[in-house]
A = this chain, B = another copy of it.
């Protein structure tokens, strides 16, 4: 378990940028005979824990999969709960040491109004030691086709993405047992390593991150070459 002090194991290398898919909130609640939607609130404190652990380890950027346009087809009691959880994560980050950007389709009543300022431009809190990208009402097709009509050559394509301010991801970590991306940033993930944990997201503890980083340090980096 990562403590408050800097007693971390040393790694040969750590990822510059991690992608985080915090899945399993509803299954976590259901396993406790709680209403499914209550799982999202239980997923908020682990988000701050992971943030602090990542920052302490020297990770420079993290992207959290908040919710997607696909997710908004769920029952409204659930959509309300995960929208609230995303607002709480963002507001909590304003009191921490982060440079926060929210990325998602703001042209929808499902995008929480409180988050619009963070979607306009990245905002620095504290020393802004770690860039945090929070995907809110994100859609892979919305992202990829965003500036499609403007790009006339390949080199312009990545700059035309709705997520163009999010850099290439080194390591995607997914909780909750599924082994898929579920539409998570297709372009930034083309060369990413994937680490999957069976544990459900609200059960996050620092050992999960260390386990992923221990696996990652032994992977090679080829960028497809």
Contact = CB atoms under 8 A, between A and B. Distances in A.
Nearest to A192: B180
Q: Is the interface of A mostly helix, strand, loop or mixed?
A: loop
Task: Report, as a range, how many residues of chain A touch the other chain.
Answer: 35 or more
A194 B71 CA distance: 21
A130 to B, nearest CB: 24
Interface in A128-168: 140-142, 144-145, 148-149, 151-154, 156-158, 160
B195 A144 contact: no
A224 interface: yes
Interface stretch (A29-37, A80-88, A107-115, A183-191): A183-191
A193 interface: yes
B142 A154 contact: yes
A70 interface: yes
A73 B153 CA distance: 21
Given A70-B224, A179-B193, A180-B191, 12 more contacts: A70-B223, A141-B158, A148-B152, A149-B151, A178-B219, A178-B220, A181-B190, A182-B190, A182-B191, A183-B190, A183-B191, A194-B194
